[in-house]
Amino acid sequence: MKHRRHECARETGLPGALRRFGWMAAVSTFLVASCDAATADRGLDARLRVDGAQFFRGAMPSSEEGGPAVVAVSLRTNEIRAGTHDKSCTGALAREATSAAIGLSGDVGYWVIPAGSPAVETPNLPSFQATLAFPPSLPSGTYALTVRAVDGAGHFGLPMDRTLSTANTDDAVRTAELAVSLQWDTEVDLDLHVVDPRGVEIWKRNINSYEPAPGEPVDPEGWKTGGILDFDSNAACVIDGRRRENVIWKSAPPAGHYVVRVDTFLLCQASTARFRIDVTQRGASLGSAEGMSTEVDTQYSHDRGAGVLALEFDVP
Amino acid sequence: MTRRVATLVFGVSFFASAWSLTSRAMADVLAADPQATAGGLPRIDWGAVRVSGYAQADWVMFRQSSQDEVSTAGEPLNENRFTLASARLRATVDHGLVTGMFEIDANTVHGPQVRPTDAEITLRWPARAPRAGEAYFQATMGLLRTPFGFDTQEVAQRRPFLSRSLFSEALFPGSYDLGLALRGGYRFFNYSLGIMNGDPIGERAFPGRDPNQSKDLVFRLGVESSRASHVRVEAGFSGLTGGGFHEGTPTTKDVFVWRDVNEDGVVDPTEIQVIAGTAATPSERFPRFALGGDLRLSADIPWLGELSVRGEVVRAKNLDRGLQAADPVVAGRDLREVGYYVDVLQEVTPYAIVGVRYDRYNPDADKSEQAGLRPVARDPSFSTFSVMAAARFKGALVARGPGGAPLAMPDLGAPRVFYPARCIVQYDHRTNALGRDASGAPTTLADDSFTVRAEVSF
């Protein structure tokens, strides 16, 4: 508990003069007592967030002899996406456990969630159910998700780790043969439109530019050769926090002239939004552009061919 | 049925009393002034409108739960700030037999707002403020303080602490409710009976409105020793019975939802699910009650001033309307609330006062939760230990009768003692069950605070 008291003194932000006054007024005992309490820190700067759990800043305490074990940890997938807010994590704990501590490697703190009633598959063991969230700024890489059981006396048991990896769009953009990226600064619904040299427009209702030549059969693998829109971010103002859309060619793109447009579908109660277009070919920049969306931009068509011209470029 | 009969009896007795008083008072007026009926109409000496009020500005110098964030509802979580806690302007008019009051409150606690807090029409006898020990009777209708206990009815300008006790804030949020109250007393005995909407202006669900026909019946029976006694005693017994309101739900439509089962962020046809709509559910009424007792002892300490010890205890069921609104229909069981406070106040010369208060409130005395394999009882109590000190200017008694005799009751709610200006500093050490420790057990979420208040009254 020593580290927590130190942390509390720092977090109260109590001015020095006032603190001295507090001592003189003989109320400082209350301050010390309150430092044993949990803090209201919501851990919004942490890479891992757990809905409804108590956040503890700092590393998890070391394992202690007699601490309960984690019996099972279940995740739907080991992939995580930056900005995800509802990744399910469930599991079972040893009988004497009363809570589960959950943390991510290299994070600023960890979370504690009370153990609940036994699950159907483990009828004699307490269970835990956590909803995990990750910030949109989560760097790409591999993380260890650590779960430890804690008993009523606060003893931490041995950890059970699960490896999580981010499906990071930065990597896909960097290694793409050709990538057109749209990013913006506020939670609005912008749509990326890219017209390739053949006149095929890639946008949210046509997310792949592959089209078989007239008279030829459809190649089942042909879609991989086209430019692909990865995501319709903040669609209809359902905010996902990404604020980014990419059209990516993993194989050689058609040579010729490309047109990039940005359609302001909805401003989601924002007044304006600034956006940026970046075009890269195998990681090298082919061009960029910046612009601003206003309410006027939402009043035009949002169909094929919509949007303001943001950038034109040629691929040799 | 019993409640309706009680309400009917209450209403009939009120109007009978009002009629009787009106007749008697008018007879007194006519007997005293034969010219009063000149022109066939009684001539009444209209009293002047009196304007009074106060302003309370707070500076929360620190609060442990404060964060530079906003809640999920978009409300800022920073509490280290200057706040206009309350600024009230009151107009009172005294027509003798009939008095009236209207008070508005402006504050910035949840952003700037202006609202009515008190609007009373009072029929009283005698047609003036009564002298000490003299019999009196008042019938008041409008927006008025709920006549329960002591803390709920204490005038803000006299309250030594910055806020009311936790249980008072939870059970009677905002203090004021719409209704009708009969108040009276004789010698050492006084009483208050009220029939109220049951939805105080500080309530969460329907503030100032009444979603059901049920009314709350409230009373307080009190005794008070002579103010000339060396040790003064005031005590009261309060009760409330009424009905709360559980809000029904409208019919809902079928909706599509997307559950990202494979967590790839892309909508797959198999991830689209239909949640069937449900038919409307009716609203329900549920019973609630409260019983409470209050006691105040005070004595004059040589060289210092008045020493007072005050306490109040309440036991209630399904009555929380401010802190954790009680809804037994949702909970599936009755919610029992228990609260109390004790404070000690010592005047240090007429210009300063110091005090401590401990108050505790349990919004659900039967709460339990799952701790691993076992359901265990949990104490969700909130408590506050407050230490305060105040500097003040002490004005003269404002409620005096003819000849300067002290009056037995507040004149239209004005305080007996008038403080033109006060400066209060208060440290609050709070405990609660809002946090979790490492074992998952509820623990206090640090929430101590230090506040400075400046107050001026006029």
Closest CA to B163 of B149, B173, B178: B173
Q: What is the pLDDT of residue B49?
A: 83
Average pLDDT over residues A255-279: 92
CB-CB under 8 Å, A27 with B263: no
Rounded Cα–Cα distance for residues B236 and B183 (Å): 14
Q: Residues of A with CB below 8 A from B64's CB?
A: 11-12, 34, 37, 39-40
Please determine, for residue A23, whether its predicted confidence score (pLDDT) is greater than 70: no
- Residue A149 and residue B373 in contact, taking contact as beta carbons nearer than 8 Å: no
Chain A contact set for B66 (CB, 8 A) = 40
Q: pTM, whole model, 2 decimals?
A: 0.75
Question: For residue B35, what is the DSSP state?
Answer: G
Nearest beta carbon to residue A150 from set B66, B440, B448: B440
CB contact under 8 A, B372 and A95: yes
How far, in Å, CA of A302 to CA of A263, rounded? 7
Q: How far is B80 from chain A (nearest CA, A)?
A: 10
Quote the tokens at residue B46: 């209209």
Across chain B, mean pLDDT equals 85
Does the pLDDT at position B390 exceed 90?
A: yes
User: Residue B264 and residue A118: Cβ atoms within 8 Å?
Assistant: no
Q: Closest approach of chain B CAs to the CA of A190, in angstroms?
A: 17
Cα distance between residue A292 and residue A259, in whole Å: 18
Question: Span B426-440, mean pLDDT?
Answer: 92
Query: Does residue A169 or residue A20 have the better pLDDT?
Result: A169
Instruction: Using the predicted structure, report yes or no on whether residue B93 has a pLDDT greater than 80.
Output: yes
Give the position of tokens 């003189």: A24
Please state the rounded mean pLDDT for residues A142-166.
91
Please compute the mean of the pLDDT values over residues B404-420 and round it to a whole number. Answer: 51
B80: which chain A residues are within 8 Å (Cβ-Cβ)? 13
Q: Please judge whether A35 and B431 are an interchain contact, meaning their C-beta atoms are less than 8 angstroms apart.
A: no
At B115-148, the pLDDT tens digits run: 999 999 999 999 888 888 889 999 999 999 999 9
Position B339 scores a pLDDT of 96
**Which position has the higher pLDDT, B25 or B449?**
B449
Q: Which residues of B touch A113 (CB under 8 A)?
A: 436, 440
Least confident of A189-193, B68-72, B144-148, B401-405: B401-405
Q: Kindly report the nearest CA distance between residue A225 and chain B, in angstroms.
A: 20
Cα-Cα-Cα-Cα dihedral sign, residues B215, B216, B222, B227:
negative
Chain A nearest CA to B333, separation (Å): 21
What confidence score (pLDDT) does residue B152 get? 93
Which of A37, A76, A167 shows the shortest C-beta gap to B443?
A37
Distance from the Cα of A188 to chain B's closest Cα (Å) equals: 18
Which residue in the set A44, A77, A126 is minimally distant from B373, CB to CB? A126
Taking CB atoms and an 8 Å cutoff, what residues of chain A touch B433? none
What is the SS3 string spanning chain A? CHHHHHHHHHHHCCCHHHHHHHHHCCCHHHHHHHCCCECCCCCCCCCCEECCCEEEECCCCCCCCCCCCEEEEEECCCEECCCCCCEEEEEEECCCEEEEEEEECCCCEEEEEECECCECCECCCCEEEEEEECCCCCCCCEEEEEEEEEECCCCECCCEEEEEEECCHHHHHHHCCEEEEEEECCCCEEEEEEECCCCCEEECCECECCCCCCCCCCCCCHHHHCEEECCCCCHHHCCCCCCEEEEEECCCCCCEEEEEEEEEEECCCCCCEEEEEEEEECCEEEEEEEEEECHHHHHCCCCCCCCEEEEEEEEC
Interface test with B, best of A8, A10, A27, A138 (most B CBs within 10 A): A27
**CA closest to B384 among chain A residues:** A30
Q: Is the pLDDT reported for residue A14 higher than 50?
A: no
Residue A157 has pLDDT above 80, yes or no: yes
- Measure A228 CA to nearest chain B CA, in Å: 13
Beta carbons of A12 and B64 less than 8 Å apart? yes
- Give the mutation candidate from B59, B60, B64, B447 for the A interface (greatest A CB count, under 10 A): B64
Q: How close B303 gets to chain A, by Cα (Å)? A: 22
pLDDT digits (tens, 9 = 90+) for A87-126: 889 999 999 999 999 999 889 999 999 998 898 888 899 9
Question: What is the reported pLDDT for B395?
Answer: 63
Spell out which residues of chain B touch residue A41, defining contact as CB-CB under 8 Å: 67
Nearest to A266 by CA among A290, A239, A246: A239
Q: A195-228, pLDDT tens digit by residue?
A: 999 999 999 999 988 887 777 777 777 777 889 9
pLDDT computed for residue B227 by the predictor: 74
* Per-residue tokens: A32: 């010390």
- pLDDT beyond 50 at B168: yes
User: Which one-letter amino acid corresponds to residue A283?
Assistant: G
For chain B, list residues whose CB is within 8 angstroms of any CB belonging to chain A: 61-62, 64-67, 69, 77, 80, 260-266, 369-373, 385, 387, 389, 427, 429-431, 435-441, 443-448, 450
> What is the predicted pLDDT for the residue at B43?
43
Tell me how many residue pairs between chain A and chain B have CB atoms under 8 A apart. Answer: 147
Contact B436 A38 (CB under 8 A): yes
Taking CA atoms, what residue in A is nearest to B65?
A: A40
Residue A61: alpha-carbon gap to chain centroid: 27
Q: Give the angle subtended at the CA of B362 by the CAs of B357 and B364, to the nearest 5°.
A: 170
Once rounded to an integer, what is the mean pLDDT over residues B57-84?
Answer: 90
Q: How far is CA A287 from CA A193, B25, B248, B332, in A?
A: 16, 93, 58, 63
Taking the C-alpha atoms of residue B346 and residue B19, their distance in angstroms, rounded to an integer, is 45
Fill in the amino acid letter for A100. A
Q: Which of B77, B263, B265 sits opposite A231 (nearest CB)?
A: B265
Residues with Cβ within 8 Å of residue A213, at least 6 apart in sequence? none
Q: Do A115 and B440 touch (CB under 8 A)?
A: yes
Mean pLDDT, chain A, whole residue set: 84
Residues of chain B with pLDDT > 70, as a percent, come to 83
Residues 6+ apart with CB under 8 A from B41: none
Asked which of A183-197, B60-74, B103-117 is least confident by mean pLDDT, the reply is B60-74
Cis status, amide bond into A118, omega within 30 of 0: no
Residues B44-60 have a mean pLDDT of: 81
For chain B, first and last CA: distance in Å? 48
Residue B443, pLDDT above cutoff 80? yes
ipTM above 0.90, yes or no: no
pLDDT of residue B247: 92
Does position A2 have pLDDT exceeding 50, yes or no?
Answer: no
Cβ pair B98, B122 in contact under 8 A: yes
**pLDDT band for position B182 (cuts 50, 70, 90):** very high
B267 against A147, higher pLDDT: A147
pLDDT of residue B222: 95
B contacts of A53 (beta carbons < 8 Å): 436
